[in-house]
C-alpha cells in the first residue's frame, strides 16, 4: 500500500514538473508583430523577395493536454512569425497546416515585400 502511494506521488510530481516546463504558447518576439500571414490567392509573390521556407510549431507529447487548441495554434503562428522575422521577412504565405494529435505545425514561404 505504501509503495503504491509513493509511486503515485512520484508519477504526479513528474507530470506536474513536465507541465511546468512547458508554456501555453510561444511568445511573439519584439518586432515580429509586423510580419503578416497571408492565406489568400490574391498574394502576388512577384512583388516580393523570397527569403526561404519557414515552419512554426507548438505542442509537445507531454504538454498538449494542458492547453486548448487556440493556444497551440497561436503558438505555432507566433513561432513562424518569429522565424520569418529572423530572416528579415515582412510576409509569410502559408502553404499548409499540419495538425497532429499532440502538436500543430504551420509551413510557409517567407518574403520581404514593399
The reported pTM is 0.73
In angstroms, rounded to a whole number, what is the distance separating the alpha carbons of residues 111 and 61?
32
Distances 96 to 26, 62, 79 between C-alpha atoms, Å: 19, 25, 15
Per-residue pLDDT in tens (0 to 9) along the chain, 114 residues:
555 777 777 766 665 555 555 555 688 899 999 999 998 888 888 989 999 999 998 877 666 667 777 778 888 899 999 999 999 999 999 987 666 666 788 899 999 998
Q: How many CB atoms lie within 10 A of CB 69?
A: 11
In angstroms, rounded to a whole number, what is the distance separating the alpha carbons of residues 21 and 81?
23
CATH of the domain at 98: 3.30.110.70
CB 102 within 8 A of CB 60: yes
Domains identified in the chain, total number:
1
Which structural domain range is residue 15 located in?
Answer: 2-113
In angstroms, rounded to a whole number, what is the distance separating the alpha carbons of residues 100 and 58?
10
Amino acid at each position: 500500500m505504501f509503495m503504491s502511494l509513493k509511486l503515485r506521488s512520484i508519477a504526479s510530481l513528474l507530470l506536474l514538473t513536465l507541465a511546468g516546463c512547458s508554456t501555453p504558447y510561444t511568445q511573439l518576439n519584439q518586432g515580429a508583430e509586423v510580419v503578416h500571414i497571408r492565406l489568400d490567392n490574391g498574394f502576388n509573390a512577384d512583388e516580393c523577395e523570397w527569403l526561404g521556407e519557414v515552419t512554426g510549431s507548438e505542442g509537445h507529447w507531454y504538454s498538449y493536454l494542458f492547453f486548448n487548441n487556440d493556444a497551440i495554434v497561436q503558438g505555432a503562428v507566433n513561432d513562424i512569425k518569429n522565424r520569418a522575422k529572423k530572416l528579415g521577412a515582412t510576409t509569410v504565405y502559408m502553404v499548409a497546416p499540419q495538425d497532429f494529435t499532440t502538436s500543430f505545425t504551420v509551413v510557409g514561404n517567407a518574403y520581404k515585400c514593399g
